[in-house]
Amino acid sequence: MKFHVMTLFPEMVEQGLHTSILGRAMDAGIISVNTVNIRDYSEDKHRHVDDYPYGGGAGMVMAAEPIAKCYEAIAGAINQDGTEAGAKRTRVVYLTPWGRVFDQQLAKELAGEEELVFLCGHYEGVDERVLTEIVTDYVSIGDYVLSGGELPAMVMIDAIARMVPGVLTNEESGETESFMNGLLEYPQYTRPEEWRGQPVPEVLLSGHHAKVAEWRMQRSIDRTVKYRPELMDGVTLDKKSAKYYRELLAKDAEDRQD
């Protein structure tokens, strides 16, 4: 899968992604990240890409033409102009706090694309006319304001790439699956067996796989109920886990009465 990122800070995106699991996937040729500097498509000799907002107000606005030129170069390389009838248009994601909030579901969906284009904005925004012309998806990574679209693009690329077949090893996908059941991750422990007076839970040392699995499932439920109770609505539990969950809720209700 190929990610194209239109940005004013290409080195930030490259350095952030060329590491760990994604770095390994790039070296293996499973994914690639092509950063394109919008400034290379500036219209003037000072390489400006922004201008004052019509109507006044604080800050600068990224101009339409350098972004359009930058996009056309990428679309040309993808070998489509984005307007041809019948041709499936490559999705273009604009990172913005007013977009649809990114989640695992959208990561999975976007991982099915061959190529994806990201547009990272800066300053006070981007000229609306180029957005309506090239953007297919407006996406936010949460309800807070960041200085630019680079960090959100990197967050999305990481989450999407992990869903691309071959990026994770079998062992790593197994771990993802356990979050994909909709529950939060269970607690993990490594050596030593006792650390500063705190022992590792006995069951994890037992070698009893079914008991370990049951314990982990219950701790995942505990943690999800405690920290993100709203996630429980989207979870399907097996019979044993459902019973544990019912009893946990009953116990919690009882505690609140006391």
CB of 79 to ligand 6GU, least distance (A): 28
Residue 243 burial by CB count (10 A; 0-12/13-18/19+): exposed, middle or buried?
A: exposed
Binding mask 161-200 for ligand 6GU (x = CB under 6 A): ----------------------------------------
Considering only 55, 105, 144, 194, the residue that binds ligand 6GU (CB under 6 A) is 144
Residue 106 or residue 232: which is nearer to ligand 6GU going by CB? 106
Contact indicator for 68, 130 with CB cutoff of 8 Å: yes
Residues 6+ apart with CB under 8 A from 40: 70
Helices (H), the chain: 10-17, 20-27, 64-78, 104-110, 128-134, 150-161, 170-180, 209-227, 239-257
* 37 is a contact residue toward ligand 6GU (CB under 6 A): no
* 146 is a contact residue toward ligand 6GU (CB under 6 A): yes
* 142 is a contact residue toward ligand 6GU (CB under 6 A): yes
Contact indicator for 168, 111 with CB cutoff of 8 Å: no
* 125 is a contact residue toward ligand 6GU (CB under 6 A): no
In 3-state terms, what secondary structure has residue 51? strand
Piece of the chain touching ligand 6GU by CB under 6 A; list 38-46, 70-78, 145-153, 238-246: 145-153
Which positions lie near ligand 6GU, rule CB under 6 A? 95-97, 99, 139-142, 144-146, 148-149, 152
